[in-house]
């Protein structure tokens, strides 16, 4: 049959408006499938009448298609005889078409009136004359005038003007405007259908050509993928036997990094097998094909259910859900629709809600953790669930490959500072020194662990570049209130002692009951600290940071502002106080997303009030 012919230029069918009467409506609403069928038959040597009858169009419509195709071939560089030979149809009108092409007026239909008359019509219509009066002034029929108005209506609608505004501008009745709007919608649907069919034909031809060209490469890639699959299977077998990544990679014959990549890809996939096998509780494609066949045979729903061994309600729901607008049940379409619905795919919240994304990124920029942001959002927008976001969604958007719509630069604002997730077992413990005369954490009162009263603190040091600078961090266990003290010169036991005494000296005695530290040598003077503050000091076990969980958490928050491997001595005391204030005004999950500063100050005021009440009760009553 040869290659498909080129389609007429845009707007060509508008030149066939005069064929609406006399049974020639097919020309105006012609689709590319009928046109391709007609031109193909003509090219194969069939007669024009036979080709038009087979394509289902009028003979005059066929002539219009031949004329448009002739002009396209001439524009493509072919001469008149070559264009005639390519068309395949011998007609006496070729000479007329050639004359039109040479004159350059071939894009204008022979029944179209002069542009000056149309201009005169619109000038008269613009001064509020009726359609009939304007047509008389322009010297045309009223039907021609209404055709112009109809085309102007379509143009306004294509430019984005609403139906009501278009009707008012052209002074149309609701009935006429409604009819034209229905006709316009029908044209759009037919044009889309014709374009889709043309695209499908072109895609099939292109796919066949590409498949032939890539066949050798595909075979080579398939062999490579097969080797990769075997290697990955062997790697996971060794991992299941308890081998480390290095040992498994060596036995398989790949590098250590390749083994890490295999694990990373496995974590990113939902299922290692890659198979998406639906449960038997769902209808299969075979069952849907049976339902379609039996429904076509007009069997009842109960009869269909007995045939496929399903409940009648299952069959009824299937037919009700997946019938199209014409009442037809298409099993292949129904199966694909059901598969998509099972996945429950919906637009990502961070993609759909620009306000939410902006709020989350602003809080991340202030070093808030995803968990804090999630809790704060529920506290801030209790009635608006569209502004709620799970912390896992934020972590996946930042750290997982293919994350959605959170800028990767905010990953550096997380406490870990990582851009990808890291397995928990890759951590390491640090070695601690020895301190004499320690009171271990096992001797600490039970009320400290129960967090029933305020005044129990945990402390530690964070070190700077080459351990030459340090900061002392203190955190209250109940209110989560934190204190940071910069030690720019040194972090000897004497400096730490003075820093602790200075930090606690301004607090009431009931707000500084105990202090828990690790076994670092900076606490060698713990007895002097205890005597100066009347404070009991306890020490955690070696390599047990979880026994001081509140302080370790505070250290992580502090490291967001003072990263590891940096010189901590360059920070001024004012900057350190500013960071402390920021940390104490961030919401905490275990405080029901209240801030530590709010809770700590409330407890401090309550302590001062109790002290004043006790003093008033102790004073003797004056005798009058």
In order, the DSSP letters of 311-375 are -HHHHHHHHHHHB-TTS-B-HHHHHHHHHHHHHT----HHHH-HHHHHHHHHHHHTT--HHHHHH
Cβ contact 519:538 at 8 Å: no
pLDDT at position 279, please?
67
Helical pair 331-343 and 312-322, crossing angle rounded to 10 deg: 90
- Alpha carbons within 13 A on the beta-carbon side of 191: 14
- Other CB atoms closer than 10 Å to residue 344's CB: what's the count? 6
Cα 535 to Cα 9, 459, 519: the distances in Å are: 91, 13, 17
Residues comprising the chain, all counted: 624
Token couple for 377: 């959002």
DSSP-assigned beta bridge partners for residue 462: 471
Cβ contact 358:373 at 8 Å: no
pLDDT at position 619, please?
60
Q: Can you give the pTM of this predicted structure? A: 0.37
First and final CA of the chain: distance in angstroms?
125
- Cα–Cα dist 337/342, whole Å: 9
- Cα–Cα dist 101/112, whole Å: 17
- Cα–Cα dist 514/529, whole Å: 11
Token couple for 31: 């689709």
- Cα–Cα dist 276/340, whole Å: 12
Strands (E), 451-494: 456-463, 470-476, 482-487
10-residue averages of pLDDT along the chain (624 residues): 41 38 38 78 84 85 85 84 79 78 64 78 88 88 88 89 90 90 86 70 66 67 67 78 76 81 69 51 88 89 91 92 89 87 72 87 90 92 89 84 70 78 47 70 88 91 87 94 92 91 90 91 90 92 87 92 90 92 92 92 80 63 44
Give the neighbor-by-neighbor strand order of the sheet with 456-463. 482-487, 470-476, 456-463, 514-517, 536-539
3-state secondary structure of 230: helix
Cβ contact 519:511 at 8 Å: no
- Cα–Cα dist 272/274, whole Å: 5
Residue 186 CA to chain centroid, in angstroms? 34
- Cα–Cα dist 473/499, whole Å: 10
In order, the DSSP letters of 334-352 are HHHHHHHHHHT----HHHH
- Cα–Cα dist 379/134, whole Å: 67
Cβ contact 329:295 at 8 Å: yes
Q: Residue 52's closest CA among 76, 77, 27?
A: 27
Give, for 536, the enclosing helix (H) or strand (E): strand 536-539
Give CA angle at 352 (350, 354), nearest 5°. 70
- Cα–Cα dist 429/543, whole Å: 6
Count Cβ atoms within 10 A of the Cβ of residue 607 and give its class: 0-12 exposed, 13-18 middle, 19 or more buried: middle
Q: Which residues contact 521 (CB under 8 A, 6 or more apart)?
A: 433, 434, 435, 493
Q: Residue 438's closest CA among 558, 341, 525, 354?
A: 525
Cβ contact 473:483 at 8 Å: yes
């Amino acid at each position: 049959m040869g290659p498909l012919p080129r389609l007429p230029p845009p707007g060509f069918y508008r030149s066939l408006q005069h064929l609406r009467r006399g049974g020639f409506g097919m020309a105006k609403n012609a689709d590319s499938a009928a046109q391709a069928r007609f031109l193909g038959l003509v090219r194969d040597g069939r007669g024009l009448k036979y080709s038009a009858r087979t394509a289902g169009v009028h003979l005059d419509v066929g002539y219009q298609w031949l004329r448009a195709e002739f002009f396209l071939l001439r524009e493509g560089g072919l001469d008149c005889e070559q264009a005639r030979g390519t068309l395949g149809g011998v007609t006496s009108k070729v000479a007329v078409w050639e004359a039109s092409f040479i004159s350059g007026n071939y894009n204008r239909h022979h029944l179209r009136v002069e542009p000056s008359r149309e201009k005169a019509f619109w000038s008269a219509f613009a001064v509020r004359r009726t359609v009939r009066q304007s047509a008389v002034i322009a010297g045309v029929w009223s039907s021609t005038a209404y055709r112009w108005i109809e085309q102007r209506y379509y143009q306004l609608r294509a430019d984005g003007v609403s139906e009501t505004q278009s009707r008012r501008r052209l002074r149309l009745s609701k009935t006429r405007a409604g009819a034209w709007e229905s006709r316009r919608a029908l044209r759009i649907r037919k044009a889309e259908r014709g374009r889709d069919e043309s695209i499908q034909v072109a895609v099939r031809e292109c796919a066949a050509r590409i498949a032939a060209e890539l066949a050798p490469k595909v075979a080579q890639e398939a062999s490579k993928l097969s080797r990769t699959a075997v290697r990955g299977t062997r790697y996971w077998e060794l991992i299941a036997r308890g081998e480390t990544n290095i040992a498994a990679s060596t036995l398989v014959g790949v590098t250590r990094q390749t083994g890490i990549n295999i694990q990373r890809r496995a974590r990113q996939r939902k299922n290692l097998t890659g198979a998406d096998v639906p449960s038997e509780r769902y209808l299969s494609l075979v069952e849907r094909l049976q339902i379609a066949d039996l429904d076509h045979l007009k069997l009842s729903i109960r009869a269909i259910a007995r045939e496929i061994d399903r409940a009648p309600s299952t069959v009824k729901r299937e037919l009700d859900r997946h019938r199209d607008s014409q009442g037809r049940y298409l099993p292949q379409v129904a199966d694909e629709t059901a598969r998509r619905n099972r996945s429950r795919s919906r637009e990502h919240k961070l993609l759909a809600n620009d306000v939410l994304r902006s709020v989350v990124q602003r809080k991340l920029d202030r070093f808030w953790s995803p968990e804090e942001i999630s809790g704060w959002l529920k506290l801030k927008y209790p009635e608006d669930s569209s502004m709620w976001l799970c912390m896992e969604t934020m972590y996946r958007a930042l750290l997982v490959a293919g994350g959605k719509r959170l800028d990767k630069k905010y990953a550096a604002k997380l406490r870990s500072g990582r851009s990808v997730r890291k397995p928990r077992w890759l951590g390491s413990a640090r070695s601690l020194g020895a301190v004499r005369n320690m009171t271990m954490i096992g001797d600490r009162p039970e009320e400290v662990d129960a967090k029933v009263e305020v005044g129990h603190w945990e402390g530690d040091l964070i070190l700077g570049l080459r351990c030459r600078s340090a900061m002392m961090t203190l955190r209250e266990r109940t209110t989560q209130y934190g204190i940071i003290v910069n030690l720019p010169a040194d972090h000897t036991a004497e400096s730490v002692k003075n820093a602790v005494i200075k930090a606690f000296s301004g607090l009431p005695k009931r707000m500084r009951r105990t202090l828990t530290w690790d076994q670092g040598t900076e606490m060698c003077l713990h007895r002097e600290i205890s005597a100066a503050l009347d404070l009991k000091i306890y020490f955690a076990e070696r390599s047990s940071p979880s026994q001081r969980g509140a302080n370790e958490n505070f250290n992580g928050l502090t490291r967001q502002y003072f990263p590891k491997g940096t010189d901590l001595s360059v920070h001024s005391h004012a900057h350190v106080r500013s960071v402390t204030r920021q940390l104490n005004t961030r919401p905490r999950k275990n405080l029901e997303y209240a801030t530590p500063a709010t809770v700590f100050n409330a407890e401090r005021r309550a302590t001062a009030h109790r002290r004043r009440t006790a003093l008033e009760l102790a004073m003797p009553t004056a005798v009058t």
